[in-house]
Structure 1
Amino acid sequence: MPLPWNSATVLPPPVTMFLCVTKFDLPALKQITNNIIKVLSKQSPLHKESAICSRFLYKYDKKFRNDIGYRNLRKVNTALRKYLALNLLKEIENFSSALPTAGDDDDLYLPSRQMLQYVLLRIMAFAKIMVRISTCSKQAAVFYLDRIKRAESHWMSLLPYALLSRLWSMSMVLLQHSTVWYSNLYPYLNKLQMKGLDFLPNNYELPEDLDQWLDLKHIDEFGKFDWAQKKDINIDNTLNDDDNDLLDNILDYVNQNDDNEIESQHEEEIKPISVKTEEAPIAVPNITEIDHGVALSRESFKLLLNTSKNGKQDQVPPPKKERQHSYKTVTNSTSLKKFIEVEENFRNESDSKSLTSHLSLMQWHALKNTLLKLCDTPTNRKIDKKFHKIWKQKCLDYM
């Protein structure tokens, strides 16, 4: 069973009044309700942003339906729909209309405690929706900002990124307002009387502090991602953050490291070096194993000598000089195709010789397709000039 603040089946209590005998600060309560009505009645910018959000989702549903940022943006739109369905302004106006006006009558009739409890429940739901909007908008903005930095569909990512930024700022402002409203209305619970049946479940109590219930101290941590490549950094605790002792701590830290290095070097100098020496047996040549050769006749010796003079020994060819990979070597379509093939191999191997390593994958494909079209042209006149012009526009200008 959902909690009362999150349940859509909880009906508002009937309008019941009671006679207040004790002293009651009615103008202060009316001022609080009037301030709430004043703020909620001026939320037309948020309604316009929610309309833009729904239209963007409808237009780009097929293109970005598998994108993570787009899915988080749909969560923002769902939260905005719940905000519009909540209609907190109507509940506050109903409660404010039940408050009596200042008159000459001595009898003061006030609304029951159940009516104020219902208003506080709606404020809690309103604050939770604002937290949901701010969290999901922050998560979605991370992915759209990454697209903008990588120049991947940046013209289609600027609109949702700006939209999410505006929604985040509005939701944070309304969240702060809701906590102030709750803290101002909660003290009046004990001053109002119960009339009729209690619509809240048994043993359910409203929180006294809405900031603590929402955990707003850690609101900046909501929506952050724990990236897999994040590494823990060990920070030396000898360096403190005090401004007065910062310079002294740094100098002490450096001096301590220098002393440790000097001591380690001194220990290495004093420590004797022990080398194990083993006497290797010296091989004594055996006289009986000496090779005296084979006797040759004069005819065979002359034949061997002539063949050694006339014969050509196999010479090892000198190593070919590696041709430098440069765009200046492109002069015709053949060299251009060779250049594209070599450049693509370097990119696939993440080699430092690649000339287009600063380009993204989409930018490289655009440049490659343009150069391949240049190779397929029937006339190869001035292909080097055309190549240098394209290379400057789509490669060098992106540096």
Structure 2
Amino acid sequence: MLEPWNSATLLPPPVNLFLCVTKFDVSALKHVFNNIIKVLSKQSPLHKESAICSRFLYKYDKKFRNDIGYRNFRKVNTALKKYLALNLMKDIENFLFALPSEGDDLYLPTRQMLEFVLLRIMTFSKIMLRVCVCSKQAAVFYLDRIKRGESHWMSLLPYALLSRLWSMSMVLLQHTTTWYSNLYPYLNKLQVKGVHFLPENYNLPEDLEQWLDLKNIDEFGRFEWAQKKLVDIDDTLIDGDDNDLFDNILGYVNQNNEDQAESDHEEDIKSLPLLEKNQENPLPVPTVTKIDHGVVLSRESFKTLLNSNKSFVKDKIPPPAPPVKVIEHSYEKITNSSSLRKFIEMEEKFRNECDSKSLTSHMSLMQWHALKNALLKLCDKVTNRKIDKKFHKIWKQKCLDYM
């Protein structure tokens, strides 16, 4: 039997009210529900990323259908479809409309209605956790493809998409724990009216963060690789107090270094006998018996010899290299299609070389391709009238506005 939070066929309890005699802070409860609606109403970026995800899966299904990363990516898309079918905001609004305005007689919703809202929040948190885990698992494989250069152009898009989905789902996951912790204390203040819709002996968790095990969320999505390097650690290091552990580890490392140094010294000693054999028969040292005092030169001959050496050194020095011509790269000097083509080629070269002269270094690769295609279309036109004005208009819209 499925748990209530995982059941899609669970029907909401009927709308029912009871007269509250004790003191109850309705404004605080309304404030919590208004915050939930405020967060859920601003999830259009997540909906756009979900649409991009489904389109990517449809386009590259034949190419990556046997890839493990692609299969995890499909799990992310399935979780996002369940998120869109959940419609948590409608359940929040139904409970909020049942809350009365502050007055003498307070007719509050029943406990079953708040339990249903908490169950929907649990379902929402489980879906976001599923998106986090699967997106991390899929991103590992796409990042590996990018590093290896295998279909890297088609792997950049899903890797960036998975990163954005992971960050959004993590933020919503933190929000759900806050919502649940704020609403759970109100269960004891509401009364039960009618039939229980939850199974018997089923209790809602008091702490949603502990129920989801968010403290170990960094461990979710990690793979236990088969190839692991086993390290044997001496048990004697652990004996003794905790304060001596650091000293024992340092001693263990120093002992290993000394053993390594001794082994290297023994290898050097093995090569010494060859040297000793060579030292038994030393090489004869030549003895110098005659000293060369040189030849006496006059002052005139010495000056002519010195001038000839200076002229030889001057002839040997190569001529200075011509100054390097600095290429000016500016978008303000474009007047016709030929200058525009040269500008596109130079900008492409500077971007590939990661040069500081690049004028579009702040743009991503997709944005640069969009700008480049628009400028190439401008070059291909037959009439080149007012090409500079058209260029500046496109440059402002697709380059300067992104700064």
Q: TM-score, normalised by structure 2?
A: 0.60
**Aligned partner (choices 178, 188, 191) of residue 190 of structure 1:** 188
Could you tell me whether the CA contact under 8 Å between 2:131 and 2:165 is conserved in 1?
yes
Say yes or no: does 1:66 pair with 2:66: yes
Once the two structures are superposed, residues 221-240 of structure 1 have per-residue CA deviations (whole angstroms, 9 ceiling, x without a partner) of 11111111122334564699
**Aligned partner (choices 116, 119, 122) of residue 120 of structure 2:** 122
Where in structure 2 are the equivalents of 1:275-294 lying within 5 Å?
A: none
Residue aligned with 2:19, SS: strand
Instruction: Give the structure 2 partner of residue 149 of structure 1.
Output: 147
Residue aligned with 1:58, SS: helix
Taking a change above 3 Å as real, the CA distance of residues 238 and 203 of structure 1, as seen in their structure-2 partners, is: closer
Instruction: Give the structure 1 partner of residue 26 of structure 2.
Output: 26
Taking a change above 3 Å as real, the CA distance of residues 243 and 131 of structure 1, as seen in their structure-2 partners, is: farther
Could you tell me whether the CA contact under 8 Å between 2:49 and 2:161 is conserved in 1?
yes
Distance 1:154 1:224 in 2: 22
Taking a change above 3 Å as real, the CA distance of residues 100 and 234 of structure 1, as seen in their structure-2 partners, is: farther
Q: Cα RMSD between the aligned structures?
A: 2.8
Displacement, 1:169?
0.6
**Aligned partner (choices 193, 199, 213) of residue 211 of structure 2:** 213
Distance 1:29 1:13 in 2: 20
Taking a change above 3 Å as real, the CA distance of residues 151 and 115 of structure 1, as seen in their structure-2 partners, is: same
Displacement, 1:88?
0.7
Q: TM-score, normalised by structure 1?
A: 0.61
User: What runs of 5+ residues in structure 2 fail to find an aligned partner?
Assistant: 266-403
Could you tell me whether the CA contact under 8 Å between 1:239 and 1:250 is conserved in 2?
no
Distance 2:2 2:11 in 1: 14
Displacement, 1:90?
0.9
Could you tell me whether the CA contact under 8 Å between 1:239 and 1:249 is conserved in 2?
no
User: What runs of 5+ residues in structure 1 fail to find an aligned partner?
Assistant: 266-399
Could you tell me whether the CA contact under 8 Å between 1:239 and 1:246 is conserved in 2?
no
Distance 1:178 1:6 in 2: 16
Instruction: Give the structure 2 partner of residue 107 of structure 1.
Output: 105
Displacement, 1:212?
1.3
Taking a change above 3 Å as real, the CA distance of residues 213 and 260 of structure 1, as seen in their structure-2 partners, is: same
Say yes or no: does 1:85 pair with 2:85: yes
Instruction: Give the structure 2 partner of residue 37 of structure 1.
Output: 37
Could you tell me whether the CA contact under 8 Å between 2:238 and 2:245 is conserved in 1?
no
Distance 1:53 1:82 in 2: 14
Taking a change above 3 Å as real, the CA distance of residues 239 and 254 of structure 1, as seen in their structure-2 partners, is: farther
Distance 1:64 1:239 in 2: 53
Say yes or no: does 1:17 pair with 2:11: no
Distance 1:116 1:243 in 2: 52
Aligned residues: 260
Once the two structures are superposed, residues 309-346 of structure 1 have per-residue CA deviations (whole angstroms, 9 ceiling, x without a partner) of xxxxxxxxxxxxxxxxxxxxxxxxxxxxxxxxxxxxxx
Taking a change above 3 Å as real, the CA distance of residues 246 and 66 of structure 1, as seen in their structure-2 partners, is: same
Could you tell me whether the CA contact under 8 Å between 2:177 and 2:209 is conserved in 1?
yes
Displacement, 1:215?
1.1
Letter in structure 2 aligned against 1:17: L
Once the two structures are superposed, residues 80-110 of structure 1 have per-residue CA deviations (whole angstroms, 9 ceiling, x without a partner) of 00000001111111111111123xx310111
Could you tell me whether the CA contact under 8 Å between 1:20 and 1:108 is conserved in 2?
yes
Once the two structures are superposed, residues 261-318 of structure 1 have per-residue CA deviations (whole angstroms, 9 ceiling, x without a partner) of 99xx9xxxxxxxxxxxxxxxxxxxxxxxxxxxxxxxxxxxxxxxxxxxxxxxxxxxxx
Taking a change above 3 Å as real, the CA distance of residues 248 and 197 of structure 1, as seen in their structure-2 partners, is: closer
Identity %: 75
Once the two structures are superposed, residues 91-135 of structure 1 have per-residue CA deviations (whole angstroms, 9 ceiling, x without a partner) of 111111111123xx3101110000000000000000000110000
